[in-house]
């Protein structure tokens, strides 16, 4: 019996029991679908975070409260000692390697225009944020340092804030309320990503005055070159230690944060993939169980084929092929469903299926078919033809 004939025989055997064949594949389908979907979603989060930090650039240094990168971040912010005077200290003493410096205060507040309300991020900062964040003011203008000093009640809106409060009309010159405070819109910023588009930019001194704040959330320094980052980090630490203790602040680069987050997400991806792989293992056990039942049901058929000249190798190969077909077809269906799920998730994050996930899923499916199909195949190949023909 040639390989092609054996393949046709295996396919016909599976088609004779379509419902059972599908239910046997179901475990593999669920396993591959889970692996592909979970990996693609984690990849989407990695892409999202990378995009956000790419917007800042690799030549940025961030000063945050002490312990923000270790321990409990909420505790770090509750004991925050950063103030505007530390921004002034850095601005006065930083070397020529620093291109721009901007402090920031972040708050979540409801912004209201007439009957519409939107929960936005109040981003109190200086004009320097335009250069540091590479912001594109598409309508109106950004506020000036003079307006910041004068605590002017002016704001610049992110694109999502404009969409939610004003729709398609221009907001320039209109007044909005943030809590009980009123501000005039003088400009809007082009879309730059979800973490930027929900912002309401406000002069930092205005923010402190309007919401009775004394501490700032962070200070961002942009270096002239990416190679200056390490030097600027050391310089920044020395400058701040003139007024603060080492534990009162943390200085790090955007690259450091990105590397740490990606390492965590990679571990999560592997862990989720391993958990989802258990479904493939269960699917493989299901295939072996059904194939053993199939061997018993087809004992007379096996005896007849051997009587007509089929060798033990032919019989064993047929059952291995059936097992591999069930597993690989289940893997392909699961991969297709995972691809559709990834496509659906792309409306929220930039999810994608990495090539290694496809190779892993299909390779594991093939392995499951071979490994869990071998024992039933060996069992079938050892059947004595005379005893098999007598089997009732």
Whether 23 and 154 map to the same domain: the answer is: no
Whether 236 and 268 map to the same domain: the answer is: no
CA–CA separation, 381 and 303 (whole Å): 10
Whether 124 and 225 map to the same domain: the answer is: yes
Whether 151 and 290 map to the same domain: the answer is: no
* Residue 69 counted as domain residue: no
Whether 274 and 217 map to the same domain: the answer is: no
> Domain end: 243, 278, 301, which one?
243
Whether 107 and 234 map to the same domain: the answer is: yes
Whether 18 and 136 map to the same domain: the answer is: no
Whether 123 and 36 map to the same domain: the answer is: no
DSSP 8-state code for residue 83 = B
Whether 173 and 202 map to the same domain: the answer is: yes
pLDDT in tens, 8-52: 777 777 777 777 778 878 878 888 888 888 888 877 877 777 666
Range of the domain at 282: 3-51+261-390
* Residue 158 counted as domain residue: yes
Whether 91 and 234 map to the same domain: the answer is: yes
* Residue 298 counted as domain residue: yes
* Residue 123 counted as domain residue: yes
pLDDT in tens, 332-358: 998 889 888 888 887 777 788 888 778
CA quadruple 63, 65, 68, 70: dihedral sign: positive
* Residue 94 counted as domain residue: yes
* Residue 27 counted as domain residue: yes
> Domain end: 243, 272, 299, which one?
243
**Total count of domains within the chain:** 2
212 — alpha (psi -120 to 50), left (phi > 0) or beta? left
What local confidence, expressed as pLDDT, does residue 71 receive?
47
CA–CA separation, 9 and 92 (whole Å): 83
Q: Long-range contacts for 96-100 (Cβ within 8 Å, ≥24 apart)?
A: 96/224, 97/223, 97/224, 97/225, 97/228, 97/231, 97/232, 97/235, 98/221, 98/222, 98/223, 98/224, 98/232, 99/131, 99/222, 99/223, 99/224, 100/128, 100/131, 100/132, 100/221, 100/222
Whether 239 and 271 map to the same domain: the answer is: no
* Residue 251 counted as domain residue: no
Threshold 0.75, pTM exceeds: no
- Of 159, 238, 165, the closest CA to residue 199 belongs to 159
* Residue 160 counted as domain residue: yes
Ranges of the chain with pLDDT below 70:
1-2, 6, 50-58, 67-79, 256-258, 260, 273, 276-277, 297-298, 306, 383-392
> Domain end: 243, 274, 295, which one?
243
CA–CA separation, 383 and 331 (whole Å): 31
Whether 157 and 187 map to the same domain: the answer is: yes
């Amino acid at each position: 019996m040639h390989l092609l004939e054996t393949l046709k025989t295996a396919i016909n055997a599976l088609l004779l029991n379509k419902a059972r064949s599908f239910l046997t594949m179901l475990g593999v389908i669920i396993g591959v679908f889970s692996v592909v979907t979970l990996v693609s979603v984690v990849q989407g989060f990695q892409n999202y975070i990378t995009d956000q930090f790419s917007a800042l650039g690799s030549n940025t240094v961030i000063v945050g409260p002490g312990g923000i990168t270790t321990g409990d971040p909420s505790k770090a912010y509750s004991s925050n000692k950063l103030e505007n005077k530390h921004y002034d200290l850095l601005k006065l003493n930083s070397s020529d390697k620093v291109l721009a410096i901007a402090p920031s205060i972040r708050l979540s507040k409801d912004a209201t225009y007439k009957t519409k309300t939107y929960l936005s991020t109040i981003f109190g900062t200086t004009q320097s944020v335009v250069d540091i964040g590479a912001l594109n003011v598409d309508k109106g203008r950004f506020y000036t340092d003079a307006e910041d000093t004068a605590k002017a009640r002016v704001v610049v809106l992110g694109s999502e804030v404009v969409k939610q409060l004003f729709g398609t009309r221009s907001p320039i010159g209109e007044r909005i309320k943030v809590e009980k405070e009123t501000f005039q819109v003088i400009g809007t910023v082009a879309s730059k990503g979800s973490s930027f588009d929900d912002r309401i930019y406000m002069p930092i001194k205005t923010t402190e005055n309007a919401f009775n704040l004394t501490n700032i959330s962070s200070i961002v320094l942009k270096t002239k070159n990416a190679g200056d980052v390490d030097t600027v980090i050391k310089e920044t630490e020395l400058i701040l230690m003139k007024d603060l203790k080492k534990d009162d602040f943390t200085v790090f680069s955007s690259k450091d944060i990105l590397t740490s987050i990606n390492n965590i997400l990679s571990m999560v991806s592997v862990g989720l993939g391993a958990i989802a792989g258990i479904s493939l293992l269960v699917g493989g056990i299901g295939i072996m169980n059904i194939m053993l039942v199939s061997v018993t049901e087809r004992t007379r058929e096996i005896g007849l084929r051997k009587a007509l000249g089929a060798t033990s190798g032919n019989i064993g190969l047929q059952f291995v092929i059936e097992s591999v077909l069930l597993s690989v077809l289940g893997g392909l269906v699961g991969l297709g469903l995972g691809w559709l799920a990834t496509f659906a998730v792309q409306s929220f994050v930039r999810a994608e299926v990495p090539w290694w996930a496809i190779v892993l899923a299909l390779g594991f499916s093939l392995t499951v078919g071979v490994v869990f199909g071998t024992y039933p195949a060996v069992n079938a190949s050892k059947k004595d033809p005379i005893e098999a023909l007598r089997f009732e």
